[in-house]
Amino acid sequence: MIYWTRVALAIVAAAISTVITLMFGERGISTFLNGLTIALLVYLITYYIFKAKFMNQIEKKSKIMTMGIGIYFFTWILAWVLIYSLALGPPAA
């Protein structure tokens, strides 16, 4: 459940990252850092929610933090690039 919830939330975080970066109208490294900050914030929020919910069911508490971290950020970067590219539209010729 944790794994698939984080995959879905990575797509949501990518959409939010796109909206935030387009609102500020910046380009370059600051665009990426704004998006990454949103992704990290969503991940940390889910960590505390999952920690409260599954505290008694998991032996190692660090397992909640690391479960799904790779797929979360991979899904986030993939979804963010796709959504951001679609939002910008085709390049001017």
Q: Using one digit for the tens of pLDDT, what is the confidence trace for 24-36?
A: 776 667 788 888 9
User: What is the structure's pLDDT at 93?
Assistant: 63
- Contact yes or no for 81/21 (Cβ under 8 A): no
Q: What is the pLDDT of residues 54-88, one digit of tens each?
A: 777 777 777 777 788 899 999 999 999 999 888 88
Q: Is the dihedral of CA 63, 64, 66, 70 positive or negative?
A: positive
Structure token pair of residue 31: 């665009």
The pTM for the full model equals 0.82
